[in-house]
Structure 1
Amino acid sequence: METGTTPWSTGLFDCAEDHGVCLLGWCCPCIVVGRVAEILDKGATSSGSAACLYVVIGVLTAWECQWIYSCVNRTKMRAQYGLQENPCPDCCVHFWLESCAICQEYRELRNRGFVMDIGWEANLELQKQQGRVEGSTVPPAMQHMI
């Protein structure tokens, strides 16, 4: 897959700036993975079903292969937003630094204007109310952090 040119809005290890997301990603990664999956799939996958799939894969593989599912989300996210594949390939980031990777993905979508805990449909409605969306597949504009 071709590497994007857009840098991530936060670094892989930027949990010090957002303790809530990092605590959620460490203690209950299925919620973070589920929310990211719902936004990336534009509502085709619910956060609950994605979270359950992550847990089922983890349980069936003794928590050795659940990272493969979340890695697919990272690859999808990079393709959708043209993000760089760094600091190493997606599979390596998720294999070695699963919690850091899913938290970075969560922050990226949040920084792009998504309210992560309300789901895809509510985000679309919110964007329509704010006049930021014409169709149901337009992602919100990137909000630059100072």
Structure 2
Amino acid sequence: MQVGGGNRNAAGKPLDSNGKREWSHGLCGCFESCGTFCYACWCPCIVHGKNKQRLNHLNGSGTPDPDGGSCCSGACWGHCLLTAFAGLGCILQCMNRGEVRARYGIDGGGCGDCCAAWCCAACDLTQVSREIELEEKSFGQRY
């Protein structure tokens, strides 16, 4: 699906009868992007902030964020505070995961989003980052 210059199904995943598709990379495929996965293990707030900013830029302007997402955004600080004081940064990840699924027409629901964010936060962050990256790369530039 082409919208605003970017391909929202760059991996060419087949659509089901409801017009939905699977994630381009599996949740356990996080090890295929070792750098992002390691970053998500040790600094999940930064990866969440970057994912959120990149997604917001794609939604708002229809183009990739030229900065690749700022690591010190409000989303980053929100995640950091929720994680540090209540251990609930996964709530923000769950919400962002839902937004990504909606943008890319990925099958699933809130329960699955929460389970992924709660049970394997680093894999969730990596999977979301890789999905956004596919659209960014479809613009023909390296981001």
Same fold, TM exceeding 0.5?
A: yes
Distance in 1 (alpha carbons) for counterparts of 2:48 and 2:19:
22
RMSD of equivalent CA atoms: 2.7
Q: In structure 2, how many angstroms separate the alpha carbons of the residues matched to 1:112 and 1:7?
A: 15
- 1:51 aligned onto 2:76: yes
**Structure 1 pair 81–30 and aligned structure 2 pair: CA distance change class (3 A):** same
Residue 113 (structure 1) shift: 2.0
89 and 10 in structure 1: CA distance in 2 versus 1, 3 angstrom threshold: same
Shift of 1:21: 0.9
Please state if 1:37 is matched with 2:42. no
* Partner amino acid, structure 2, of 1:40: L
Conserved in 1, the CA contact under 8 Å of 2:33 and 2:126? no
The residue identity in structure 2 corresponding to 1:51 is C
Scaled by the length of structure 1, the TM-score of the pair is 0.67
Q: Percent identity, aligned pairs only? A: 30
In structure 2, the CA distance between the partners of 1:24 and 1:41, relative to structure 1 (3 Å rule), is same
Larger RCO (CA within 8 A; separation ≥ 6): 2
State which of 13, 18, 28 in structure 1 corresponds to 2:28.
Answer: 13
- How do 1:1-146 residues align onto structure 2 when only pairs under 5 Å count? 5-42=20-57, 47-49=71-73, 50-61=75-86, 63=87, 65-85=88-108, 89-113=112-136
* Alignment: residue pair count: 113
| Deviation of the 1:110 alpha carbon | 0.9
Partner Cα separation in structure 2 for residue 89 and residue 59 of structure 1: 24
Distance in 1 of aligned mates of 2:40 and 2:95: 17
- Normalising by the residue count of structure 2, what TM-score does the alignment of the two structures yield? 0.68
1:59 counterpart letter in structure 2: A
Task: Give me the whole-angstrom Cα distance separating, in 1, the residues matched to 2:132 and 2:50.
Answer: 10
Deviation at 1:15, TM superposition (A): 2.4
Unmatched tracts of structure 2, length 5 or more: 1-17, 61-68
